[in-house]
DNA sequence: TAAGGTACACATACAGCGTAAGTCTGTCAA
DNA sequence: TTGACAGACTTACGCTGTATGTGTACCTTA
């Protein structure tokens, strides 16, 4: 029985495994096929190794999930303190949505993991700091943070569902919500028909625009909660 | 080998299985222990039956998930058309949050299921109808709907994570976000410390209030998008 | 150079998952 | 009386995460 340690007999130099390499591979796999299809065996195969070998570098699967969630948190742009709070919030919100769009599997995981990692905590502190320095009271800062996060994560959640439906349609292309709703009687659901016939299915409908519309609505409203400049 | 059909030899009269009974039991199980612990075998055991017998009444597990999601949609109060749009939206939003708090497993499932059921479609139409009759243009109605749903589902998502963390703490009680954050240095994350020391961990902090604060903020802002009365 | 400890990949095994496939039996219609 | 059918049953397959034990390569120390 020959071993695979050291330089492989006929293969590549064999980069050694590491926690970081495992997490990176896990992320790639999750991005490619969703987190529900991320299994220890597939991940190991991807790394040219057996499943159990992974446990030398991560505690268990939850540890992997925590790890890749932290990476996503790290991709979110921190809001700059002291300058224009609205611009800082806006940038951070957009960068969050983009990260969640890049890694759809992350929605629903980011909020539910226990033991927040450093990137997560750092973001929290930066958010609250930016709001406090902009003149929000502690209570209002919490409110403002809560509204924004709810909106952002909720939007990402719906975007994910949207994409999930689009994904498993035939290559038909033109119909995203179309086929789902087409067969239901227009006279029974007139208002849905009105929308489906309209711009939502048209080429001008951009999710990014939809996102920023609601975001600006909320940020404008938050301005009213701010204390003195 | 004796059978269990008909009146059980020594047991109860044996209510016959049915799709409805399967779905109700599935919902109870999901409410009790989360949707991830809802398995065909446990569900069958709950109903005094073997796993495979369930397939006589439902197509597969996805069918069950679709079914219980529809039940949750049915628990959401439809917005009344024609009267005060703001009150109607408010009521619907609150009733949605309550439904999602009753059935935490539903968040994340409601948006991702394909093939929306009748209750889902009816709600969509009632929402759009209420907004259209309140003077919103088609575009603005979609925007208004989108903002609200994003906020509601996002809030529910965070509430779920929140509760998940609280659940698996010892019976210690006093610390929900407390223990999670207590050990991190207050001088490195001053703004988090400020909040943790404040009212968020206090007894006055109510998630329902937090929810309604953001909701009202959004509804107020939406008033400005309305067309003529 | 020899001995021992450590790191790490390995194989095996187990309980639990969804469900395809086939079987058995009580009930009802012809 | 017979045959069809509904519906519960058993068995089996390929997955899952991971506990457990083994084997080998390397590094450190004597």
Name, in order, each residue with C-beta under 8 angstroms of B214's C-beta and a sequence gap of 6 or more: A143, A146, A147, A150, B151, B155
B218 touches A: beta carbon within 8 Å: yes
B160 touches A: beta carbon within 8 Å: yes
Residue B54 pLDDT greater than 90, yes or no = yes
Q: What is the pLDDT of residues B213-222, one digit of tens each?
A: 999 999 999 9
Per-residue pLDDT at B8: 36
- Distance of alpha carbon B68 from the chain centroid: 11
B212 touches A: beta carbon within 8 Å: no
Q: What is the pLDDT of residues B139-149, one digit of tens each?
A: 999 999 999 99
A195 touches B: beta carbon within 8 Å: yes
Average pLDDT over residues B165-172: 56
Per-residue pLDDT at B126: 97
- Distance of alpha carbon A164 from the chain centroid: 14
Task: Assess whether B53 (CB) lies less than 7 A from strand D.
Answer: yes
Residue A181 pLDDT greater than 70, yes or no = no
Give the range among A129-143, A195-209, B54-68, B107-121 with minimum mean pLDDT: A195-209
Residue B69 pLDDT greater than 50, yes or no = yes
Name the nearest CA neighbour of B25 among B4, B41, B9, B10.
B41
Choose between B85 and B37: higher pLDDT: B85
pLDDT confidence bin for B169, thresholds 50/70/90? low
Please report which residue ranges of A114-206 form alpha helices under DSSP H: 118-133, 138-167, 178-182, 190-196
Give the range among A113-127, B124-138, B163-177 with minimum mean pLDDT: B163-177
Average pLDDT over residues B187-201: 83
Name the nearest CA neighbour of B127 among B153, B89, B95.
B89
CA distance A126 to chain B (A): 8
Per-residue pLDDT at A182: 57
State the pTM of this model: 0.90
Name residue, tokens 């980011």: A110
Choose between A132 and A12: higher pLDDT: A132
Closest residue in B to A225 (Cα–Cα): B217
From the list A111, A116, A222, the residue facing B158 with the nearest CB is A111
Q: What is the pLDDT of residues A39-49, one digit of tens each?
A: 999 999 999 99
What is the average pLDDT value for chain B, to the nearest integer? 86
Average pLDDT over residues A73-98: 96
**A30's tokens:** 């999750």
Per-residue pLDDT at B3: 38
Rg (CA), chain A: 22
Angle between helices A207-223 and B138-167 (to 10 degrees): 80
Q: What angle do CA A51, A56, A60 make, to 5 degrees?
A: 70
CA distance A200 to chain B (A): 8
pLDDT confidence bin for A201, thresholds 50/70/90? low
Residue B111 pLDDT greater than 90, yes or no = no
Q: What is the pLDDT of residues A53-70, one digit of tens each?
A: 999 999 999 999 999 999
DSSP designation for B6: S
Residue A175 pLDDT greater than 80, yes or no = no
For strand C, which nucleotides have at least one atom less than 7 Å from a protein CB?
A: 7-12, 16-22, 24-27
Q: What is the pLDDT of residues A90-143, one digit of tens each?
A: 999 999 999 999 999 999 899 888 888 999 999 999 999 999 999 999 999 999
Percentage of the residues of chain A whose pLDDT score is greater than 70:
82
């Amino acid at each position: 029985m020959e071993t695979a340690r050291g330089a492989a007999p006929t293969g590549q130099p064999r980069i050694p495994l590491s926690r970081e390499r495992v997490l990176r591979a896990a992320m790639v796999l999750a991005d490619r096929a969703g987190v529900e299809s991320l299994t220890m065996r597939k991940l190991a195969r991807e790394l040219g190794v057996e499943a159990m070998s992974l446990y030398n570098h991560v505690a268990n699967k939850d540890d992997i999930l925590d790890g890749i969630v932290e990476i996503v948190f790290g991709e979110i742009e921190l809001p700059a303190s002291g300058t224009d709070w609205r611009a800082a919030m806006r940038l951070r919100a957009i960068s969050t949505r983009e990260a969640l769009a890049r890694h759809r599997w992350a929605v629903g995981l980011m909020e539910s993991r226990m033991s927040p990692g450093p990137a997560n905590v750092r973001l929290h502190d930066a958010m609250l700091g930016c709001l406090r320095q902009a003149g929000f009271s502690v209570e209002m800062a919490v409110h403002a943070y809560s509204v924004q996060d709810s909106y952002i994560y909720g939007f990402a959640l719906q975007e994910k569902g949207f994409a999930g439906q689009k994904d498993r349609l035939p290559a038909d292309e033109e119909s995203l919500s179309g086929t789902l709703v087409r067969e239901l009687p227009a006279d029974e659901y007139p208002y849905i028909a009105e929308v489906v016939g309209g711009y939502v299915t048209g080429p001008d409908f951009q999710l990014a625009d939809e996102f920023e519309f609601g975001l600006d609505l909320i940020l404008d409203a938050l301005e009213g909660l701010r204390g003195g400049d």
